[in-house]
Chain A
Amino acid sequence: MGLLAPSVSVDAVMLEARAAALGKRSIKTSAKLEGITLAIRCTDLTTLEGKDSEGRVRSLCAKALRPRPGWPNVPSVAAVCVYPNLVSVAKDALRGSSVAVASVATAFPSGLSNIEVKLADTAAAIASGADEIDMVIDRGAFLAGREQAVFDEIVQVKHLCGNVHLKVILETGELGTYDNIRRASDLALEAGADFIKTSTGKVGTNATPPTALVMCEALRDFARRTGERRGLKVAGGVRTTKDALAYLVIVKETLGDGWLDPKYFRIGASSLLDDLLMQLEKEQTGHYAGSDYIPKD
């Protein structure tokens, strides 16, 4: 593999201090309004539950297209993210729109299957019309030091994807240290990931501000080294407008304004959109609407 030789080390104490300092940015009035709209545009509206059905995916797609019917200034989200067997339903519901369909793949969420199954999983999602693939890395292999195996899997999935956008989920909550998160980020970028993504949303610890910060640092160094801009997706546990704005701040101040675009930044979330809409209405009208004014699905 064309892997960079030494690992980049990360100091946990100072990393967390920096993330906490960025979390104290005060985002008010026009900035808040712009941030909320941007966060909506960057959302991958997600449903990844065993009980997902065609009907649920269709209503999610309707919401993805027009998050707030009657409010024409509210943009569509970036994508809808579903399991592979529901891709065709989402594709149909979103036909002709700007909203992409993302599919999880490669034995999501554990990634514990053989490579043939993972590739077949990916191929099926692409055949059903997926515009984007959210794959998972094999954390067992990574933690056991078999980095080459992890790298090769990403390369193979990327090869299969071709022009289909590939997001590589590191499952940072299982990697244990920021050093490992940085290493896995570098490895995924080197192997061809279009995006690096924090989490599946299926383990105890999902996206956190320090995790996003260390991944931004990897993206920034990659861009500096290669001249190529790759993206970040934070996922899992991002529920409030405040959380979303905090991630926008981290991206803005670490990577720069060029990354504040759905092409390079996504938030994977399900309930976040409701809070964004509620806060948007509050910013525009000066008062909070009850949560019952926001459609749930």
Chain B
Amino acid sequence: MAVFEYAPAPESLRPAIRERYGLFIDGKWASPAGEGHFDTINPANEARLAEIAYATPTDVDRAVRAARKAYEKYWRRLKPADRAKYIYRIARAITERGRELAVLETIDGGKPIKESRDFDIPMAAAHFFYYAGWADKLEYVLRAGREPSPLGVCAQIVPWNFPLLMAAWKIAPALACGNTVVLKPAETTPLTALALAQIIEECELPPGVVNVVTGDGATGSALVEHEDVDKIAFTGSTEVGKSIARRLAGTDKRLTLELGGKAAHIVFADAPMDQAIEGVVNGIYFNQGHVCCAGSRLLVEERVHDEIVVRLTERLQTLRLGDPLDKNTDIGAINSRAQLEKIQELVKSGVEQGATLVQQRGDLPARGFFFPASFFTNVHPSHRIAREEIFGPVLSILTFRTPDEAVDKANNTPYGLSAGIWTDKGSKNMWIAQQLRAGVVWCNTFNQFDPGSPFGGYRESGFGREGGVHGLYEYLAH
């Protein structure tokens, strides 16, 4: 008999959403040149939320021109301490409107409200606060004697998994260094970027310093290829990242890429097991696994494999899947139908290739895009589910016998964004961390972020760093 069942605890705030959003160019809201619009929907119930302007190459050109004008006319000439004041203002406004932004993020993207409320929005504000502080201290960033100077107009393309946070990661350091920005949010999650544009408008930033153009891949392409853009910062798939790199070859545009991952999460037999299980759960099921640094390849020491499978199977049943606006929801909606189909296809391939699928029990909501928390055992390194990024709540479990084998298997991937290690032995933790080719290695924890800590990849996970002092190098001429 069920005892003490949690009653629905929905977040009640309903932020104002416009029927139709234009483009934010040169400090004004403008209709797109082609008059085209597309819908953004709530993936948890497939209801339409708003009509979003579809930016054509003409609109992109207007946005880049506005950014250029703002750069030359105001922003690069502004005293650094005054730039900081604007950025602090944005940070405070995000904090003040945190609840509204959290709801927008959740209804547009499907992530649980507890995550948007406790992670995405506070962390976005934290990045603006952090980089505001750097704006008038840039001479301490570069080697002595070098004059910090901005790059110019930055094209910034962000993904749908952490829409506002990724925008903050990109806009905050760019503005602090004196650059101007054209931001393109993802097609399925434009609402918080547009809310940020409203905040920027209210903060009275000089027109054109930040511009927001909405659209799809073609809009992004027009932005990447615009000849007056000085720097491109892209977060998204490795496939698109490679294509951008190819198109920029031979130009003098600067580029940073933060791409996919297939992170190894290594659990030794001497790990604090209950906490390791929590780390594994957080590593793969946070944000439905729509996380580029997700710990999606679990490498467990063979002697504890069966124990871990038992514990993880039990733990899956306590994850609460459902309405993302419910404050007790752990697993929300998959971001889009296309992503759901991609996850389903990869999971099917795992079953067909002979791996064993374990899933949380229970019915999925009748409407919306949902996928149960899942993991595979009997996975071999050659399986697609062991190599390709699934970007969903699906974990692949592999085994190892010695620390050397763990390192070999962990590094046997074209990616290298993150990794995790669980062991009670400090020396082993440090030794393994040194061997792993990954931009961030978490020891006895996972998914820890801070604006002061740089983040970025090795190999096909991209190059360049975001966050910390390192994040400033990417927006300064040097």
Contact = CB atoms under 8 A, between A and B. Distances in A.
B6 A9 contact: no
Interface in B1-23: 1-9
A15 B272 CA distance: 10
A221 to B, nearest CB: 9
Contacts of A35: 4
B275 A30 contact: no
A260 B274 contact: no
A260 B3 contact: yes
Interface in A1-32: 8-11, 13-15, 17-18, 24-32
A261 B278 CA distance: 26
A252 interface: yes
A31 B444 contact: no
Contacts, number: 74
B7 A25 contact: no
Nearest to B425: A9
A27 B6 CA distance: 6
Given A11-B444, A13-B444, A14-B445, A25 B6 contact: yes
B382 interface: no
Interface in B360-410: none
A257 B317 CA distance: 12
A217 interface: yes
A257 B444 contact: no
B114 A10 contact: no
Contacts of A26: 6, 9, 327-328
B272 A34 contact: no
A26 B326 CA distance: 9
B126 to A, nearest CB: 18
A52 interface: no
Contacts of A30: 5, 7
B427 interface: no
Contact of B5 (A8, A31, A214, A217): A31
B272 A260 contact: no
A217 B4 contact: no
A257 B279 contact: no
A268 B59 CA distance: 67
Contacts of A32: 7
Contacts of B445: 13-14
Nearest to B310: A224
Interface in A29-44: 29-32, 34-35, 38
B445 to A, nearest CB: 6
Contacts of B272: 8-11, 14-15
B273 interface: yes
Contacts of A34: 3-5
Interface centre among B7, B274, B276, B444 (most CB of A within 10 A): B274
Interface size class of chain A, counting residues whose CB lies under 8 Å from the partner chain = 20 to 34
Contacts of A257: 1-4
Contacts of B270: 9
Contact of A14 (B1, B9, B275, B310): B275
B251 interface: no
A9 B4 contact: no
A38 B4 contact: yes
Contacts of A252: 3-4
Contact of B273 (A8, A29, A260): A8
B97 to A, nearest CB: 21
A27 B1 CA distance: 19
Nearest to A8: B273
Interface centre among A26, A29, A35 (most CB of B within 10 A): A26
Given A14-B445, A31-B6, A32-B7, A9 B424 contact: yes
Interface residues of B, number: 27
Nearest to A221: B274
A248 interface: yes
Q: Give the dominant DSSP class at A's interface.
A: helix
A15 B279 CA distance: 10
B425 to A, nearest CB: 10
B316 to A, nearest CB: 12
A32 B5 CA distance: 9
A253 interface: yes
B318 interface: yes
Contact of A260 (B4, B279, B444): B4
Interface in A246-278: 248, 252-253, 257, 260-261
Contact of B318 (A14, A24, A217, A253): A253
B275 A248 contact: no
Interface centre among B7, B118, B279, B424 (most CB of A within 10 A): B7
Contacts of A11: 272, 275-276, 424, 444
A10 B4 contact: no
Nearest to B330: A21
Contacts of A29: 7
A11 B425 CA distance: 12
A224 B275 CA distance: 18
Contacts of A14: 272, 275-276, 278-279, 444-445
A10 B275 contact: yes
A30 B3 CA distance: 11
A17 B273 CA distance: 15
A214 B8 CA distance: 28
Nearest to B274: A217
A10 B5 contact: no
A282 B8 CA distance: 19
Interface centre among A9, A35, A248, A261 (most CB of B within 10 A): A9
B318 to A, nearest CB: 5
Interface string A85-119: 00000000000000000000000000000000000
Given A13-B445, A14-B445, A29-B7, A24 B274 contact: no
Contacts of A13: 275, 444-445
A18 B5 contact: no
Contacts of B8: 28
B313 to A, nearest CB: 12
Nearest to A216: B274
Interface in B244-287: 270-276, 278-279
Nearest to B273: A8
Nearest to B270: A9
Given A25-B328, A26-B328, A10 B274 contact: yes
29 contacts: A8-B273, A9-B271, A9-B424, A10-B274, A11-B272, A11-B424, A13-B275, A13-B444, A14-B272, A14-B276, A14-B279, A14-B445, A15-B275, A18-B275, A24-B118, A25-B327, A26-B6, A27-B7, A28-B7, A29-B7, A30-B5, A30-B7, A31-B7, A32-B7, A34-B4, A38-B4, A214-B274, A257-B3, A257-B4
The 3 closest A-B pairs by CB, nearest first: A14-B275, A26-B9, A11-B272
Given A9-B270, A13-B445, A24-B114, 12 more contacts: A11-B275, A11-B424, A11-B444, A14-B278, A15-B275, A26-B9, A26-B328, A34-B3, A34-B5, A248-B4, A257-B1, A257-B2
